[in-house]
A and B are shown apart, each in its own frame.
Chain A
Amino acid sequence: MVAPAPVTTAVGGGAKASPRHDNRGPSSKSFLAWLVVVPFLAYVGTFLVYPTALVLAGSFQDSDGGFTLANLADLTRGAYLRAFLRSVELSAITALLGAVFGALLSWAVAVGDREGLPRRAVVAGAGVLAQFGGVPLAFAFLATIGFQGFVTQFLRDSFGIDLFATGAWLFELPGLTLVYTFFQIPLMVIVFLPALDGLRPQWREAMDSLGGSSWTYWRHVGGPVLMPAFLGALLLLFANAFSAYATAAALVSQGSPIVPLQIRGFLTGEVLLGRENLGKALGLGMVVVVGVAMGLYAVVQRRFARWQR
């Protein structure tokens, strides 16, 4: 309805409307203009850029502050390499599961009423589980399939099935995979639903009137149009699982199978003295992996923007 304000015209127009500033000369005026942005830049500089720089710089320092590549070299072997590989595996599997089931759920919601309650409820529920679940999600699973969980007891009492016959898998990688899909599917709904909404009903109608089937529609129109959005979402889900910490921390109290939990070990001081910067190197490794995924996401997103208008 309202077009975005053309930003470039604002500079001259704003200056004309402020005669008070005119007699101070152009340099003090632009100085004052910059002054307004200083609180934001100072804040973000202190609480976002500085801590990040600290982690990045620390990765290349030994305990005396000298330059070293030993921290990064350690990431490429032993327990740290295994943790990275497991994190990548966990993120990739849950991203794939989340993307497929999330796309199906998005479709089921998208074909319904846009302003309807089911859609609102699914979108709000997806927001909760995808972004704010964290610790509660871990406890939800303890209540469901923990040792005394609802489903565990039901299966044991009614069918004599022991969920934990093969060990405490809920507190290990298989458990994490299951719990992670509980925030991956919802995240997929959040990011994929707008793409589905972008599909024009006219395309479907055109296909129908030309005698095409549902299958031909998805194979030749819907599928290709949605593919970039799907791939983009897959990358976002991967980055999301890779960054996740709270659920895993609440579920896994012993051992550090994945990278975020290994970083916890460094922060809570359960590590070799003098190797504190190894934790920062793990952080750098995470930033690189997540950064690559997010960078690819941005590229895919830009391609996909063509279909959104």
Chain B
Amino acid sequence: MAAVTRPTGRAVARFVILLVLGAFFLLPLVAMAEFSTRGAGGTRSLASWAAIVDDPDLVEAILVSVQLAVTSSLVVLALLVPTMTWIRLRLPALRRLVEFLCLLPVAIPAIVLVVGMAPLYAWVNYFLGDSPLTLTFAYAVLVLPFAYRAIDAGLSAIDLTTLAEAARGLGASWGAVLLRVVVPNIRTALLGASLLSVALVLGEFTIASLLNFDTLQVRVNLLGKRDAGVSIAVSLLSLLIAFALLFLLSFVGRRRRDTAVEEG
């Protein structure tokens, strides 16, 4: 008897939880879709969505955010992959320090970081001009913890020492070891790190807004004061893009998870 009732009780509980919390989380998304398609006099209209491409400032901001997403991922990978590989191979004494530095941004709220970065950016903009792409410097710091964890997991999953020794023994330079041995072997981890960085940069608001750069989220926030319909349409769009990226990420991570299951 107990064996029969328990699974059904569990299924009911599961169903109720998924239904209630699912509705709780989907309601705002439905409301955004409804709000952004309101036309005059109770009709439906896609004017707010069409206005996204008609607003040159918004398109510009979207392009800036996309470029920032690319440059930030590249910078963080270029910084971390050689450093973390080298530390595992030759300087294990530094591993603790690098880990600490990489995870430090978790303990320092972005709003605090921006207080310290404001004077720094006065110098950056003095030397490099005030292109919004200079935000790359700040964003590479923000994504550091995420990228570190992803790359660290990737490097832990391969026998780095043996691979590197074999390549070196066959006469490969350290550059070749890095680009032709390490990178291809941890490409899933690198892709994961990049996707996380992209999603994070596309959603970033704090630093961009307080350093006065026009990125996607800053523009969305400004738009909200003028045209709620368009700002809500773009908000929904950016949430959906981030969702698509992370959904993709769940497939990227699959191979590693499969092996983990076999282990356990």
Contacts and interface: CB of A to CB of B under 8 A. Distances in A.
A134 B205 contact: yes
A151 B159 CA distance: 56
Contact of A52 (B87, B116, B169): B116
Q: Please classify the interface of chain B as helix (H, G, I), strand (E, B), loop, or mixed, using the class held by over half of its residues.
A: helix
Contacts of B262: 1
B235 A213 contact: no
Interface of B: 2-3, 6, 9-10, 13-14, 17-18, 21, 25, 27-32, 34-36, 79-80, 82-83, 86-92, 94-95, 98, 101-102, 104-120, 137-138, 140-141, 144, 156-162, 164-165, 168-169, 199-200, 202-206, 209-210, 217, 220-221, 224-225, 228, 231-232, 235-236, 238-239, 242-243, 246-247, 249-251, 254, 259, 261-263
Interface in A133-155: 133-144, 146, 148-151
B17 A105 contact: yes
Q: Please classify the interface of chain A as helix (H, G, I), strand (E, B), loop, or mixed, using the class held by over half of its residues.
A: helix
A250 B221 contact: yes
Contacts of A171: none
A81 interface: no
B221 A13 contact: no
A151 B13 CA distance: 27
Contacts of B243: 124-125, 128
Contact of B203 (A53, A115, A131, A142): A131
A275 B101 CA distance: 30
Contact of B10 (A5, A111, A150): A111
B86 A5 contact: no
B80 to A, nearest CB: 7
Nearest to B18: A108
B239 A131 contact: no
Contacts of B107: 239, 287, 290-291, 294
A159 interface: no
Contacts of B34: 143, 150
Nearest to B89: A10
A128 B28 CA distance: 14
Interface in A214-258: 214, 239, 242-243, 245-246, 249-250, 253
A228 B10 CA distance: 24
A139 B250 contact: no
B253 to A, nearest CB: 10
A40 B111 contact: no
Nearest to A146: B228
Given A135-B205, A135-B217, A150 B30 contact: yes
B199 A131 contact: yes
10 contacts: A7-B95, A8-B92, A10-B89, A48-B141, A120-B250, A129-B239, A134-B204, A140-B32, A243-B109, A246-B217
Interface stretch (A71-79, A161-169, A263-271): A263-271
A55 B98 CA distance: 22
